[in-house]
Structure 1
Amino acid sequence: MTALVTLADFAHARAGDKGNILSVVVLPLDAAHYDWLKRELTVERVAEQFASRRPSRVQRYEIDTLQALNFVLDDALEGGVNRSPGLDRHGKSLSYLLLSLRLPAPG
């Protein structure tokens, strides 16, 4: 059985919103873990982690020069900040949802 770790133990994230689009950038705490992040932090895993937000599409952009992954989730913000009944459930606070994801430990 593969040991699972919490993403927050190996990375940090910043998020932002624009309309009904959420963007979350994930950066490893240690550059040695960037390849692990690229292998394990897939579009499918991020989509599953945000399933309750019902994004219509999840895209991943690899920014190798910064050792960062940028995930863009369409239609994940209940219509956007001005339309949503949720308080402060957009942008920056949603990075913590991603950081709570459990992944196989780096090998």
Structure 2
Amino acid sequence: MLLREIAHARTGDKGNISNISLIVFDSSDFELIKEKVTPDRVKKWLGKIVKGEVLRYELPKLRALNFVLYDALDGGVTSSLQLEKHRKTLSSYLLEMPIE
């Protein structure tokens, strides 16, 4: 199963930091994503995009996880040469992650 089948996501940015909020559709799937979508796994999945640390914050009442991705925007929106400087598509890419 792909993560997008049980959750939706939204990406934000500040400076050279990106964050992805991952929200499950059904509260019964929250424990599953807590177990399967770890900071290490997110960092591996995003590959070379995230050069720094990945932190995860849990918001159980919202059925959500928030991942903070340090050094993920090539220096920040105003200095990056990337075509998609805000990296808003990171949330869509994360939703393609397979989970068991």
TM-score range, shorter chain: over 0.9
* Alignment partner of 1:30 is 2:26: yes
Q: 1:32 to 1:49 in 2, by over 3 A?
A: same
> Is 1:61 equivalent to 2:57 in the alignment?
yes
TM-score (norm 2): 0.93
> Quick one: percent identity of the two aligned structures?
41
| Residue 46 (str. 1) matches residue 42 (str. 2) | yes
Matching residue within 77, 82, 90 for 2:78: 82
CA distance, structure 2, for counterparts of residue 54 and residue 27 of structure 1 = 21
Instruction: Quote the Cα distance in structure 2 between the aligned partners of 1:52 and 1:90.
Output: 16
Q: Distance in 1 between matches of 2:94 and 2:13?
A: 15
Segments of 5+ residues of structure 1 without an aligned counterpart are none
Count of residues in Structure 1 that have an aligned counterpart in Structure 2: 100
Structure with the bigger percentage of strand: 1
> For the Cα contact (< 8 Å) 2:21–2:66, is it kept in 1?
yes
CA RMSD, Structure 1 to Structure 2 (Å): 1.2
**What letter matches 1:83 in structure 2?**
S
Task: Give ranges in structure 2 of 5+ residues lacking alignment.
Answer: none
User: Normalization by structure 1: what TM-score?
Assistant: 0.87
Per-residue CA deviation, residues 43-69 of structure 1 (Å, 9 max, x unaligned), is 111010112213310000001121110
**Counterpart-to-counterpart distance in 2, 1:54 and 1:23:** 11
Per the alignment, in what secondary structure is the counterpart of residue 72 of structure 1?
strand
